[in-house]
Amino acid sequence: MKNCAIVGINWGDEGKGRMVDLLTENYDVVVRYQGGGNAGHTVINEMGKFALHLLPSGVFHKNVVNILGNGVALDPENLLTEIRDVSSKGVSITPETLKISDRASLLLPWHRDLDALEEQRLADKKYGSTKQGIAPFYSDKYQKKTVLAGELFYPEELRAHLRDLLEWKNLTLTKVYGAQPYTMDMLEGWLRDFCEPMKAYVCDTGAFLREAVKADKNIMFEAQLGALRDLDFGIYPYTTSSNTTAAFAPIGAGLPSLKLTDVVGVVKAYSTCVGEGPFVCEMFGEEADKLREKGFEYGAKTGRPRRVGAIDLVATRYGVEVQAATKIALTKLDVLGYMDKIPVCTHYMVNGKKIDSFPFPMELEKAEPVIEYVEGWKCDISGARRWEDLPEAARNYVTLIEKAIRCPISYVSVGAERDSIIIR
Ligand code: GDP
Ligand code: MG
């Protein structure tokens, strides 16, 4: 049996979905272990172009079982919409190919409202949330104020539980934010429209996974976002509200005793970031506009223009360490083909000192990038399929990154399509 986590090394949107879609061919099970419908994993293959939010990126392979683990923010409304959308494009999603953990907590209708209300209250101090309710969801989960998916099978107890939660949450909605309260009728509508149809997929996925391990199946774990957005190890408070790191994969997936055999860290050939927070390598003006256009850097979930910058070797090396990556997939190398000289951030200047280790989040606000320039290759490399097909300057760029981050770059992606890949 082999198992592998595919995780982001940077701020997210590195191309994890694209790598899961490519590599699942050799796996039996794919599990999403954290995050929620705020993810945007773009996959382009023979079935079309998809932006997946909650569904694992293994859904395109007929023989793969896809699991939403206990660690995800399970939003029935988002999930149902996504299942319908993906099914309408010819992808078969059935209780045999999609299984939802009965221990996953439900993102309740008010979580989205609370997310928006709090961002509104914060005004110019906002976090840049995708407003999918993720932060209120996880705080409620840790306060034990959500409902488990498995509770849908106990209608009476479920309603009593929801009534208690409703009474509690209405205090915050009305007294803190001056918003409209929820009613049991509204929750009944939500149960009927979104939770009932979802029930068919809910089961004891922990037991399923333990059997899969015994039967020597290959299991893949799919993360959302990247190391720098991890709640504990990222750029707090501009992180997400869950653990994006590979070490959390066995727990969030429902196999807490499992040891990962491989961790594929996905790194983008330059930096991008959605939302607020320190972003040391950020480019501005025309230089930024050009990179954003060339890389088509707009959020898959929100359509927001992403902030862009040079590759950040300081942050990337930290991301590799935190993820304990055993291999790297470097994506979007093709995008840099227009640059004469490619900027690379090798160090930070903080308080007049040149450093190459990733500092405490507050120090990041003061950090200035130290940029070096390397030779560009000035041509289209999207047709390259072998390492030797790449121009020397492109190979030099890859090996420079590899040396700096101290992890082998085993995959070089030169396009969004499944087969636009160089395997070294
Ligand atoms: P994820 O959230 O990590 O799965 O990444 P996203 O899907 O949000 O963002 C990656 C974007 O880059 C998507 O639009 C992909 O289709 C695209 N993409 C992935 N790999 C490559 C690549 O090697 N070259 C190009 N040009 N696009 C890529
Ligand atoms: Mg994304």
DSSP character string of 125-153: G-----SSSHHHHHHHHHTT-S-BGGGGG
Is it the case that residue 205 has pLDDT exceeding 90? yes
Tokens of 102: 């009965």
Among 25, 21, 27, 22, smallest CA distance to 216 is for 27
Asked if the model's pLDDT at residue 183 lies above 90, the reply is yes
Rounded CA-CA distance 54/73 in Å is: 9
| CA separation for the pair 387, 391 (Å, rounded) | 9
pLDDT band at 287 (very low <50, low <70, confident <90, very high): very high
C-alpha 164 to ligand 1 mean position (Å): 43
pLDDT at 24 over 80: yes
pLDDT in tens, 137-148: 999 999 999 999
**Contact between residue 294 and residue 269 where contact means Cβ atoms under 8 Å apart:** no
Ligand 1 pocket check for 300: Cβ under 6 Å = yes
Ligand index nearest the alpha carbon of residue 267: 1
* Residue located nearest, by CA, to atom 8 of ligand 1: 13
- Average pLDDT of span 195-204: 98
Task: Indicate if ligand 1 lies below 6 Å from the C-beta of 297.
Answer: no
Instruction: Give mean pLDDT, residues 72-97.
Output: 96
Note the pLDDT tens digit of each residue in 206-258: 999 999 999 999 999 999 999 999 999 999 999 999 999 999 999 999 999 99
Instruction: Confirm whether 41 is a catalytic residue.
Output: yes
pLDDT value at 264 more than 90: yes
Question: Which ligand 1 atom lies nearest to the CA of residue 51?
Answer: 7
Query: Is the predicted pLDDT of residue 21 greater than 80, yes or no?
Result: yes
Q: What is d(CA 354, CA 96) in angstroms, rounded to the nearest whole number?
A: 54
Ligand 1 within 6 A of 10 CB?
no
Q: What is the pLDDT of residue 342?
A: 98
Q: Which atom of ligand 1 is nearest to the CA of 41?
A: 4
* Residue 125: band (very low, low, confident or very high) from pLDDT cuts 50, 70, 90: confident
pLDDT given for residue 203 in this prediction: 98
What's the rounded mean pLDDT across residues 83-90? 95
Burial of 288 from C-beta contacts in 10 A (0-12 / 13-18 / 19+): middle
Please provide the average confidence, as pLDDT, over all residues in the chain.
Answer: 96
pLDDT for 301 beyond 80:
no
- Which ligand 1 atom lies nearest to the CA of residue 420? 23
Q: Name residue, tokens 């990556």.
A: 325
CA 64 to chain centre: 20
288-291's contacts with Cβ under 8 Å and 24+ in sequence apart are 290/338, 291/335
> Is a pLDDT exceeding 80 seen at residue 302?
no
Is residue 334 in contact with ligand 1, taking CB distance under 6 Å? yes
Smallest CA separation from ligand 1 atom 27, residue: 416
The ligand whose atoms approach the alpha carbon of 384 most closely is 1
| 268 close to ligand 1 (CB < 6 Angstrom) | no
Neighbour-count burial for 150-173, b at 16+ CB within 10 Å, e otherwise: bbbeeeeebeebbeebbeebbeeb
pLDDT at 401: 98
- The answer to whether 73 touches 100, Cβ cutoff 8 Å, is no
In the predicted model, is pLDDT for residue 56 greater than 90?
yes
Helix (H) or strand (E) holding 194: none
298, 331, 411, 414: residue to mutate for ligand 1 pocket, most atoms within 8 A of CB: 331
Are 345 and 369 in contact by the 8 Å Cβ rule? The answer is yes
Determine which one of 21, 41, 102, 111 is catalytic: 41
Q: How remote is the CA of residue 214 from the centroid of ligand 2, in Å? A: 33
Ligand 1 atom having least distance to the Cα of 17:
4
Q: How many Å apart are CA 336 and CA 399, to the nearest integer?
A: 15
Ligand 1 atom nearest the C-alpha of 413 is 23
Which pLDDT score, from 0 to 100, does residue 299 have? 80
Please state the rounded mean pLDDT for residues 369-397.
98
> Is the C-beta atom of 14 inside 6 A of ligand 1?
yes
Provide the angle, in degrees to the nearest 10, between the axes of the packed helices 134-142 and 109-122. 110
How far apart are the CA of 232 and the centre of ligand 1, in A?
A: 26
User: In percent, how much of the chain has pLDDT > 90?
Assistant: 92
- Rounded to the nearest 5 percent, the helix, strand and coil shares of the chain are 40, 25, 40
Q: Report the nearest-CA residue for atom 12 of ligand 1.
A: 15
Confidence of residue 303 (pLDDT cuts 50, 70, 90): confident
Q: Which ligand places an atom closest to the C-alpha of 412?
A: 1
Helix (H) or strand (E) holding 362: helix 361-364
Whether the per-residue pLDDT at 5 is higher than 90: the answer is yes
d(Cα 65, Cα 63) in Å, to the nearest integer? 7
Query: Is residue 266 a contact partner of residue 7, using CB atoms and an 8 Å limit?
Result: yes
What mean pLDDT comes out for the span 345-355?
A: 97
Q: Is the CB of 415 under 6 A from ligand 1?
A: yes
Contacts for 117 with CB less than 8 Å, ≥ 6 apart: 173, 177, 179
Q: Determine which helix (DSSP H) or strand (DSSP E) holds 339, and give its type and residue range.
A: none
pLDDT (average), residues 402-414: 98
The pLDDT of residue 233 is 98
List phi, psi (to 5°) of 67: -125, 135
In this structure, the residue with its CA closest to atom 11 of ligand 1 is 15
- Tell me whether residue 419 is one of the annotated catalytic residues: no
What was the pLDDT predicted at 1?
78
Contact 254, 205 (CB under 8 A): yes
pTM (2 d.p.): 0.94
Binding site membership of 16 for ligand 1 (Cβ less than 6 Å)? yes
Residue 133 in this model has a pLDDT that exceeds 90? yes
B/e letters for 47-58, b = 16+ CB within 10 Å, e = fewer, are eeebbbbbbbbb
Mean pLDDT, residues 314-319:
98
Report which bound ligand comes closest to the CA of 20. 1
Ligand 1 contact via 56 beta carbon (within 6 Å): no
Question: Which ligand 1 atom lies nearest to the CA of residue 414?
Answer: 23
Residue whose structure tokens are 């050009």: 290
Name the residue with the closest Cα to ligand 1, atom 13. 42
What's the 362 CA to ligand 1 centre distance in angstroms?
30
12 Cβ contact list (under 8 Å, min separation 6):
224, 225, 226, 229, 244, 273, 274
Q: State how far the Cα of 371 lies from the Cα of 369, in Å rounded to an integer.
A: 6
When pLDDT is averaged across residues 408-414 and rounded to a whole number, the result is 98
Q: Which amino acid is at 385?
A: R
The CA-atom distances, in angstroms, between 242 and each of 238, 267, 404 are 12, 20, 28
The residue whose CB lies within 8 Å of the most ligand 1 atoms, and thus the one to mutate among 19, 130, 332, is: 332
Chain segment 35-54, per-residue pLDDT in tens: 998 888 889 988 999 999 99
